Amino acid sequence: MQEKRTYIMKAAFKENTWEGKCVDDKKIIELYWERKEIAITETSLKYGKLCTHVARNILSSYEDSEECVNDTYFAVWNAIPDKRPEIFSAFVSRITRNLALKKYEYNSAAKRNPSAAISFEELNECVSGTECVETEMECRRIEKLIDKFLWQQGEKKRNIFIRRYWYLDSIEYISGKTGFSQSKLKSMLYELRRKLKLYLEREGIEV
C-alpha cells in the first residue's frame, strides 16, 4: 500500500516542470535537520514556483498567495526535524495547499478564486456531509480510499484527477497540458467522480 501511495504522489509531480536545478531533496532535508537557514533558501529556489502555483489556484489575491508561500517555508522549518518527508515536493506543496485553504475560508466570497470554488463543488458530489470538502479530504481514511481508487485508474486519468482536485488547475490549463479537449476532460472527470462516489459508498462512506 505504501508503494502505491508513493507512486500516486510521484505521479502528481511527474509531468510538472516546477523543480529548478538546485540542491538534491535529501540534502535540503539534511540542512533542515542541521537547522541551517540556507535550507529555506534552497526550498524557495527549487519549489517556489510549485508553491506559488498551488496557492494561486486557490486564492485570487497575489498578496495572499505570496504570504502563503512565505509561511510555507517557516512551516517546513518547524515540521523538520520532527519528521523526514519521503517525497519532499509533495510535503512542501501539501503545506502550501493547507495554508491556502485556511486563508480561502476567511476571505470574502468576492476574493475567492472561482475556479477553486468550482473544483470543490464538483468534488462535493463524491464526498459530502461535512462543512467543507477540503477538510474532509484531509481525513486519513478517505484519503487512503481515494488513493486506492486512483491507483485503480489509468495513469492519464489519475493525473487529470490530481491536477483538477489537488492542484485545482482549471479545465483550460489541464487541456493545454494534456492535449485533451475541454469537453473530453469534463466527460472524463464526470465519469471519475461518478465511479469514486460509487466506490466510497461501497466502502461505507456517506456521500
Q: What is the pLDDT of residue 106?
A: 60
Positions in the chain short of pLDDT 70: 1-22, 106-118, 120-121, 125, 127-140, 207
Residues 197 and 58: their CA atoms lie apart, in Å, by 24
Q: What is the pLDDT of residue 118?
A: 67
Q: 1-7+17-111: what fold?
A: Rna Polymerase Sigma Factor; Chain: A (1.10.1740)
Q: What is the pLDDT of residue 109?
A: 47
CATH 1.10.1740 intervals, the chain: 1-7+17-111
Q: Hey, what's the cell of 13?
A: 509531480
Q: What is the pLDDT of residue 143?
A: 76
CATH 1.10.10.10 intervals, the chain: 113-207
Apex 129 CA angle, 123 and 130, nearest 5: 85
Q: What is the pLDDT of residue 28?
A: 95
Query: Quick check: 196 and 186 in contact, CB under 8 A?
Result: no
Query: Quick check: 29 and 85 in contact, CB under 8 A?
Result: yes
Q: What does pTM read for this prediction?
A: 0.63
Q: What is the pLDDT of residue 27?
A: 94
SS3 of residue 68 by DSSP: helix
Correct CATH for 113-207 of 1.10.760.10, 1.10.10.10, 3.40.50.300, 3.90.550.10: 1.10.10.10
Residues 147 and 163: their CA atoms lie apart, in Å, by 14
